[in-house]
Amino acid sequence: MHTTVTLKAMKENNEKIAMMTAYDAPGAAVVETGGIDLILVGDSAGMVIHGYDSTVPVTLEDMLLHTRAVRRGAKDTFVVTDIPFLLAHMDIAESMRAAYRVMQEGGAHAIKLEGASQEVMQLTERLTAGGVPVMGHLGLTPQHANVLGGFKVQAKEEEAARQLLKDAEALEAAGAFAIVLECIPAQLAEQVTKHVSVPVIGIGAGAHTDGQVLVFHDAVGFGTGHVPKFVKTYANIYETVAEAVETYVTDVKSGAFPEKKHTFQMNEDVAGRLYKGVES
């Protein structure tokens, strides 16, 4: 299993880091079997699992439930859990408590915080000091979709790009062990990757980051919504499952299922007496 130390060594050795999300035990098991370096229990759960159109409605209880399931399914993989909407911006004690619960009750090995606000910087410092590895997340931060005007590419202009570079450096200085860059120009992601010593993991941030992350449902083609441009779909699970369900329905209607091998039997004498019992 990776640690924050081995992940940093991967950056130094130019070994790419492959991260994917998981939300439940079988999803975590299959991702672990596939050889993923680390699992993100993303608040994208709100969208791909719970059917919301943003990550804003996701609660700490949701994240705890998903994290526990993921840990049971993937016992040998480093697990990072998103701190959900606004919880990093409460009073410091409440924000610390959220991370405390994700680590102790959820069993996560690290937490992820969106943005570079003063609150996030202070929280990153205090959590790191207390022994909680913190992953940063810059660029498109979906919890801010309502102030960003939706899920748009970020930091295309010089001023915003320079600010993002500064934010990444500040996160590193505050103790972040890795940084996710979401939906930013590839040239900017490359600069950030060169300028910080911690692993940079991209999603929609081009090929020059230290690693990549994708949402499980996007990667395996089990999504129901819009598929962002940065996604590569490696399977078409939705179609496969839909075909299986359709065949099941057909079999039930026609009587082709269940067959004898799916059926339990009792002794024929006992069955005969039951029949008489019903008649008398």
Ligand X SMILES: Nc1nc(=O)c2c([nH]1)NC[C@@H]1CN(c3ccc(C(=O)N[C@@H](CCC(=O)O)C(=O)O)cc3)CN21
Annotated binding site for Mg(2+): 43, 82, 114
| Whether the Cβ atoms of residue 70 and residue 79 lie closer than 8 Å to each other | yes
* Cβ count within 10 A of residue 241: 12
- Considering beta carbons, is residue 74 or 213 the nearer one to ligand X? 213
Which span sits near Mg ion by CB under 5 A: 74-82, 165-173, 225-233, 238-246? 74-82
Question: What would you report as the CA-atom Rg of the chain, rounded to the nearest whole angstrom?
Answer: 23
- Considering beta carbons, is residue 4 or 44 the nearer one to ligand KIV? 44
Taking residues 3 to 42 in sequence order and writing x for each that binds ligand KIV by CB under 6 A, - otherwise, the string is: ------------------x------------------x-x
- Considering beta carbons, is residue 53 or 251 the nearer one to ligand KIV? 53
Residue 279 annotated as catalytic: no
Q: What is the phi/psi pair of residue 81, to 5°?
A: -120, 135
Among 4, 44, 154, 193, binds ligand KIV (CB under 6 A): 44
Question: Which one from 61, 182, 190, 279 is the annotated catalytic residue?
Answer: 182
| Whether the Cβ atoms of residue 78 and residue 70 lie closer than 8 Å to each other | no
Question: Residue 209 corresponds to which tokens in the numbers above?
Answer: 């980051």
Number of residues near Mg ion (by CB under 5 A): 3
| Whether the Cβ atoms of residue 83 and residue 111 lie closer than 8 Å to each other | yes
Number of residues near ligand KIV (by CB under 6 A): 11
DSSP 143: G
As measured in angstroms, the least distance from the Cβ of 231 to ligand X is 7
Q: Does 106 bind ligand KIV (CB under 6 A)?
A: no
- Which 3 state secondary structure label does DSSP give 110? strand
As measured in angstroms, the least distance from the Cβ of 58 to ligand X is 10
> Residue 41 touches which of Mg ion, ligand X, ligand KIV, none (CB < 5 to 8 A by kind)?
none
Task: Write out the residues near ligand X by the rule CB under 6 A.
Answer: 44, 47-48, 55, 140, 142, 151-153, 183, 215, 217-218, 223, 226, 228-230
Cα–Cα distance for residue pair 122/102, rounded to 1 Å: 18
Q: Of 156, 145, 154, 136, whose CA–CA distance to 201 is shortest?
A: 136
Torsion sign across C-alpha atoms 124, 166, 150, 179: negative
As measured in angstroms, the least distance from the Cβ of 53 to ligand X is 9
CA-to-CA dists, residue 75 to 25, 61, 66, 80, 214, angstroms: 10, 21, 14, 13, 21
| Whether the Cβ atoms of residue 130 and residue 198 lie closer than 8 Å to each other | no
As measured in angstroms, the least distance from the Cβ of 11 to ligand X is 23
Binding site for ligand KIV (CB under 6 A): 21, 40, 42-44, 82, 180, 182, 203, 213, 215
Catalytic annotation, residues? 182
